[in-house]
Amino acid sequence: MKTKNIIYILAVICLTFIIPGCEIAPDPGFDGQISGSVKDSNGNPVYSDILANTIIVNALGEGDISPIIIRVNGQGTFAYTKIFPKKQKIWLTGPIYASAGDTVNADFSGGQAVTQDFVVEPYISLDLQLKSVPADSTVTVTYSLTGNRGKVIATRQIYCSTAPYPTSRTSSGPYYATFTKTVTTNSGETKFTGLKWGTRYYIRMGANGKTGSANDLMNYSQQIVIDTPVKSKK
């Protein structure tokens, strides 16, 4: 019993000296926020892919080696809420033509919430339209593409998926289905058949060109949302 008491007393003494030196780490203050949109010179959103480093916003703090990478999403917007409180240099990379206006400086030293919009020129401008409301399990869309600054278009794909903002990486699984059409012209129409009745589908187009011998990243169109009709019972 005496041995246990001695051990207990020694433990209390040790804690008396150790605890004052154990402080909770201070909040590093990653409370700066940035959000904004990416558009072309006509005010049209430049759409991207939230699941991949396609069009990204880079934020490099003073004294830092690597930037924070913020992905632009399928709506052409971006947001990040954990910016370190210091001055940051911010610019875009991806399938866009860089210009002096793509790089800005912002001060987050006070934990500010900064709104920063960018106007860029994408490699490829895409437009996708629904030709008519689906009356059955078939839908037809029209499309047009323009390679800006003489960019030659290499790949043209249209995706129809039950997963929102589909891309070339969106496949099919147990709970979703994706149809992909490859087209060879810069304008025209295409049809998706065999869709499931009474189902919501998301349709959009992706296209890329080449820089040298390498394929560029994809530029994307706006997303079309459709609901196929419920099959009537006869």
Please list the rounded mean pLDDT of every run of 10 residues in the chain (234 residues). 49 44 50 91 94 94 93 96 90 89 84 89 97 89 96 96 91 82 96 93 96 93 95 69
Architecture per CATH, domain 32-121, reads as: Sandwich (2.60)
Domain boundaries, the chain: 32-121, 124-227
Indicate the burial class of 106 (C-beta count within 10 angstroms; 0-12, 13-18, 19 or more).
Answer: middle
Reduce the DSSP state of residue 30 to 3 states and report it.
coil
Residue 18: count other Cβ atoms within 10 Å of its Cβ.
9
Here the tokens at position 151 are 């960019």
**Shortest CA distance to 116 belongs to which of 64, 38, 49, 40?**
38
Handedness of CA 34, 38, 44, 46 (dihedral sign): negative
Same fold for the domain at 32-121 and the one at 124-227?
Answer: yes
Model-level pTM?
Answer: 0.82
Q: Specify whether the CB–CB gap between 179 and 201 falls below 8 A.
A: no
The C-alpha atoms of residue 43 and residue 55 are separated, in whole angstroms, by 17
Residue type, 22: C
Q: Specify whether the CB–CB gap between 71 and 53 falls below 8 A.
A: yes
pLDDT tens digits, residue range 149-168? 999 999 999 999 999 999 98
- Looking at residue 30, its pLDDT comes to 67
The highest-level CATH class for domain 124-227 is: mainly beta
